[in-house]
Amino acid sequence: MPPPGPAHGHPRNPGMALDLDWVAGAAVNRSAVERRVESLPGRRSVKGAHQAAWLLKAVSLIDLTTLSGDDTSARVARLCAKARAPLRADLLEAVGMAGLTAGAVCVYHDMIEPALRALEGSGIPVAAVSTGFPAGLSPWALRLAEIEASVKAGAAEIDIVISRRHVLTGDWQALYQETREMRAACGAAHMKAILATGELQTLGNIRKASLVCMMAGADFIKTSTGKEPVNATLPVGLTMVRAIRDYEARTGFKVGFKPAGGISKAKDALVWLSLMKDELGQDWLQPDLFRFGASSLLGDIERQIEHFVTGAYSAGHRHAMG
């Protein structure tokens, strides 16, 4: 039986044969991308109840994450409790959103079992980072074995990291082959391919890597591990979502998107949601096609929802993740 995961109302991307002509022609006009990003509506264009509704939607798309060397079962249990009840009960009651949960909980392999135990019966999937995260430089056989071990342990989603050197040297065949084998190792678990975009040098490289990973069968493409010096930026996001749009137009298959790292403010979440809706449409405002890799975002969203409900902000420390 496949592990539990988000409900998918669309066929899973099976991938396709590597099309090097498509990859070679995948250019990006940086100035046009930057102009488009500057035109995105910010927080001021969404007010009151509409803003609260968008922020509640954002909560349902957050992958609450702990990826530290000092992770413990107790820390993971607290994170899972937060995923089950991401906002204060009185606020959820006031806005009529009882039962709201986060999108997933993301952990290292060793923390899968305590996460599954803490999330039992919730329907919230456990995602595991894999393949020598974050650098992705462990021996190839071990990277595949790590995926298989995490799937066997019950992870519904696997976040893999690509070999950046294949992008930087233009070895698209090697990138495709590796990603294809990692997708096969995932089996029924959904695969999120992390591009580590802050290390790929150009938007053109990011677009090409996005296409190759989708051709190889990625269920999601994700900007960053969160460990690079530069993480999710809007020009990178626009480049990736337009690759997703082109891939769907050519193949008919929808692929998800996950910006990760550096998204900590509610106003930023609103801009990302606007980008997804404008570029890809309503389908990409659901957890099976869009996630935020941004645990710290939740605290600021709770502050904004509290302000909407009560008209006032409380002390910031009340919203800190524990």
Catalytic amino acids? 159, 222, 258
Task: Output phi, psi for 116, to 5 deg.
Answer: -60, -40
Comparing CA positions, the residue from 155, 152, 146 lying closest to residue 128 is 155
CA atoms within 13 A on the CB side of 83: 32
Cα 191 from chain centre: 11
CA atoms within 13 A on the CB side of 239: 29
State the sign of the Cα–Cα–Cα–Cα dihedral 218, 219, 225, 230.
Answer: positive
Cα 317 from chain centre: 26
How many Å apart are CA 196 and CA 321, to the nearest integer? Answer: 25
